[in-house]
Structure 1
């Protein structure tokens, strides 16, 4: 047999995602490249490793055994790399963070300086909705999580990063100069919501319930980017976090509609379980963040104060 570490990595990712397409996306490869690596890997075995049913890739019993072995081999390779760096006196290991979807506009700026300082660190950042973020944290699958609403069912510690402000946003609304509209305005607008489990949806629903509004028409989309594109296409209006709208606001593609009671404000928090035993990497990152967060905010988010 003459399989490579790259083939093991590709096969393991396919086993985890059950999809050539998703494996290619996560490995930053093309689908044909992943298919070729899978075929070359399979050619070294007389027993099938996978089967395709309804366009999903399933492992055979033998394939599951090989996937388990591949994971062990790759973990040993990573361990060798980390030990090599440790002998050079370099910080090394994995830093695992789960981030709510809007947090993708925030978290990279609080990571970039740290990652540049320590080339031996592998960053694993999962961007998903609030429910899945908290599930990863609760299951001890990550070191930290970025949220804008603190969970009340977990025992956590946290560091405050920066404000998260939500405004009513849309395109083409002819607002009267200087006028602040009543919340009842939302009853007459087609509203666009995020999906269930989203922190943004939670805040929007709080505003609607607080003002006892009956919404006439609404649409539900599963990401802030999808909501943003729908706003630009003039499909409706939404209560959105300002943090992801810099380009659209700077270029007047979208507008803030002044409404009494808005903006609503929360805070971006980096949280972790109170019982968490930090790795040297996680502890070093927390120390970095506490020291540098004010400089990061000033450097990258000064524009935020204009609104």
Structure 2
């Protein structure tokens, strides 16, 4: 047997994602590179690790056993690295955080100083939709999650990082209605939504429902960036988090439309399971957040207060 650690890492990711394409994306590799690593590993076994039926990839029972062994091997390698750092008196370990997609504008600023100071810690940050974030937290797959609304049905503890404001926005050429006529304007203007399950989508739908507004035309896009570009292009208007609009507002490519009962105000909140037994890395990060969050907010997000 001449399989490599890299082959095992690639195969484990394939079994987790059930897809060559998704595995390649998460590993930041090309699809052919992932396929080659899978083939090289498979060539060392007489029993199939995977099979493709139609266009769907399935992991065989034997493949699942190899994946479990691969995960144990990889974890032991990580442990060797962590023990090396610990022996040298350096804080080490893996810090796992799941972040709702718009949170990518927030959390890096609350991580950079900590990671630069603690070079022995390995960061694993998954940026995805709210449903997957909550599921990863429920399944105890991560240390922390960053959300704009704290989920119900899960016992969590929390630390508020930053105010989150959502405004009605349009492109620079839109004719802005009088505040009193905003409801009529929204009823006759294409509205751009995030995907189902998004906290932004939920907030937007709740606002429209409370105002008795029924959209005649809807566009649904799967990321904050896609919605932003659609608004800039004039495809419609949307209710969006301010945090991702700083550059566009400064350059005038997007404008805020004044509307009654807006902005919607929530909080960017770091949450973790109430019963979570934290690793040394997670414990250190939480202590860092509690001590430094006000400074970080003042240095990087004071502009929010002007809106």
Q: TM-score, normalised by structure 1?
A: 0.93
Aligned-pair distance for 1:181?
A: 4.7
**Could you say if the C-alpha distance between residues 66 and 152 of structure 1 is closer, same or farther in structure 2, counting changes exceeding 3 Å?**
closer
CA displacement 1:227-266 (0-9 Å, x = unmatched)? 1122122111100001111222222221111112211111
CA displacement 1:245-301 (0-9 Å, x = unmatched)? 122222222111111221111111111222222211111001000111112112222
Greater displacement, 205-214 / 288-297: 205-214
The 2-side partners of 1:19 and 1:131 are apart by 20
Correspondence for 1:100? 100
Correspondence for 1:175? 176
Correspondence for 1:125? 125
The 2-side partners of 1:15 and 1:131 are apart by 21
The 1-side partners of 2:14 and 2:197 are apart by 28
Correspondence for 1:260? 260
The 2-side partners of 1:297 and 1:82 are apart by 31
The 1-side partners of 2:102 and 2:135 are apart by 17
| Aligned residue-pair number | 305
Correspondence for 2:221? 221
Question: Secondary structure at 1:98's aligned position in 2?
Answer: strand
Report if aligned partners of 1:183, 1:211 keep a CA contact under 8 Å in 2. Answer: no
CA displacement 1:161-204 (0-9 Å, x = unmatched)? 1111111111121237xx54544121121111112211111111
Aligned-pair distance for 1:7?
A: 1.0
The 2-side partners of 1:132 and 1:224 are apart by 16
Report if aligned partners of 1:183, 1:261 keep a CA contact under 8 Å in 2. Answer: no
* Correspondences of 1:156-235 after superposition (within 5 Å): 156-171=156-171, 172-175=173-176, 179-184=178-183, 185-235=185-235
**Could you say if the C-alpha distance between residues 197 and 76 of structure 1 is closer, same or farther in structure 2, counting changes exceeding 3 Å?**
same
Q: Structure 1: where are the runs of 5+ without partners?
A: none
Report if aligned partners of 1:21, 1:31 keep a CA contact under 8 Å in 2. Answer: yes
Aligned-pair distance for 1:82?
A: 0.9
The 1-side partners of 2:44 and 2:126 are apart by 33
The 1-side partners of 2:250 and 2:190 are apart by 24
Establish whether residue 139 from structure 1 lines up as the match of residue 139 from structure 2. yes
CA displacement 1:142-165 (0-9 Å, x = unmatched)? 211111112332322211111111
* Correspondences of 1:1-307 after superposition (within 5 Å): 1-171=1-171, 172-175=173-176, 179-184=178-183, 185-307=185-307
The 2-side partners of 1:220 and 1:251 are apart by 25
The 1-side partners of 2:117 and 2:164 are apart by 28
Report if aligned partners of 1:14, 1:57 keep a CA contact under 8 Å in 2. Answer: no
The 1-side partners of 2:129 and 2:88 are apart by 39
The 2-side partners of 1:25 and 1:189 are apart by 36
Over 6 Å off, 4+ runs = none
Question: Secondary structure at 1:97's aligned position in 2?
Answer: strand
Report if aligned partners of 1:182, 1:260 keep a CA contact under 8 Å in 2. Answer: no
Question: Secondary structure at 1:58's aligned position in 2?
Answer: strand
What is the alpha-carbon root mean square deviation over aligned residues? 1.7
**Could you say if the C-alpha distance between residues 139 and 44 of structure 1 is closer, same or farther in structure 2, counting changes exceeding 3 Å?**
closer
The 1-side partners of 2:229 and 2:162 are apart by 26
The 1-side partners of 2:54 and 2:112 are apart by 40
Aligned-pair distance for 1:131?
A: 2.5
The 2-side partners of 1:180 and 1:3 are apart by 66
Q: TM-score, normalised by structure 2?
A: 0.93
**Could you say if the C-alpha distance between residues 154 and 37 of structure 1 is closer, same or farther in structure 2, counting changes exceeding 3 Å?**
closer
